[in-house]
Amino acid sequence: METQTKPKPPNPYREALKYERQQATTAAPPQVCLKCAGWKSFGGTDTPKYIANFGPICCCQDTWDRIQQILKRLKTYRFL
């Protein structure tokens, strides 16, 4: 008898950056933080999806504050 694994719930921080990606202009380039080498922004919709699905997210305070504001907005509109 095989056990089935449940899919992992989506990471809310990554989902917030994906939402920001949808709101950005299509040609916006992805941004990498030079302090922690994580993704500050996933860029616009022209950016390949693998950037949004994999890789580290920036953990610096300014990016963290921006992500918290996006999460608050998404929870207000009940997208998360």
| pLDDT tens column, 51-61 | 888 889 999 99
User: If you write DSSP's letter for every residue of 62-78 in order, what string do you get?
Assistant: HHHHHHHHHHHHHHHTT
Asked if residue 24 belongs to a domain, the reply is yes
3, part of any domain: no
Percent of the chain with pLDDT over 90: 31
In a domain, 53, yes or no: yes
Residue 57 is assigned to a structural domain of this protein: yes
Residue at 41 is within a domain: yes
pLDDT band for position 80 (50/70/90)? low
Number of domains in the chain: 1
**Whole-structure pTM value:** 0.75
Q: Tell me, yes or no, whether 17 lies in a domain.
A: yes
Structural domain for 30, as ranges = 12-76
Q: Is the dihedral of CA 47, 53, 56, 61 positive or negative?
A: positive
Say if 6 falls within a structural domain. no
Mean of pLDDT values over 43-48: 86
